[in-house]
Structure 1
Amino acid sequence: MAKIFYKVVLTVAFISLLHSAISAAQHRSYIRLNELEFTHLPLDVFIQTLLSLFTIMYAVLHLAGDFKEIKASAELENKSWETFRNIPSFYVFSHRGGKCSPSKASLEESE
């Protein structure tokens, strides 16, 4: 239920940010048409932009889930030394040990 709420908040905030961008572009074109000097955006557009931005950040933080610690050792503290060496990409199954084994050699000769 909470995720749906934050998704709706995020959508509304993005629409509000898009509206403030369109308002800023319209203000800029109005200034150009009237040959006025651009000093700053209107206060209502500026406030809407900031509120939309902060609302987007708030909603994204709640939708993103749990964050991991920046410290690299925080995740590795619970693992033992044996699990560090257990890397599947280093597994070798077709090695020459089978050729040297007396039981394997006698089975291959009988075939």
Structure 2
Amino acid sequence: MPATFLHRFVLSIGFLSLFHSAYSAAQHRSYLRLNELDFTHLPLDIIIQALISLFVIMYGVMNVAGDFKEIKASAELENKSWETFRNIPSFYTFSHRGKFLAFPHQTGNKKHN
């Protein structure tokens, strides 16, 4: 299922809400320090807002990320033949040191004395 504008909007709202709850928690801590009160726990509304934004973010990420692949590693490999496993282009090396280890060759006409 492709990511629609709605899913991206929900994801951004979730991140904004989570940022707001973190800012509210920091503001609550500074309020307690100014009034010289002990910190015991966060207010319930900040905790609820953080949890709801977490679930909204999880929903948005699952829809924006795209289709999930199977966990089973052999699921992708079932359709490939044995020859494709040996053909790995990332291991091709065209610029190697072998040309410097070989004996020098002369090209063209050789003159004999």
Q: Which has the higher contact order (CA 8 A, sep 6+)?
A: 2
* Aligned position for 2:30: 29
The amino acid of 1:11's aligned partner reads: S
TM-score normalised according to structure 2 size:
0.74
Gaps of 5+ in 2: 95-107, 109-113
Displaced runs of 4 or more, over 2 A: 85-92
Cα deviation, 1:9-54, whole Å, max 9, x if unaligned, reads 0111111111111110110011111111111000000000000011
- Counterpart residue number, 1:76: 77
Letter in 2 for 1:19: H
- 1:12 and 2:13 correspond: yes
CA contact (8 A) 2:3 2:64 kept: no
RMSD after superposition: 2.2
AA paired with 2:26? Answer: A
Distance 1:91 1:32 in 2: 64
Range with bigger deviation, 24-33 or 83-92: 83-92
The total of aligned residue pairs comes to 94
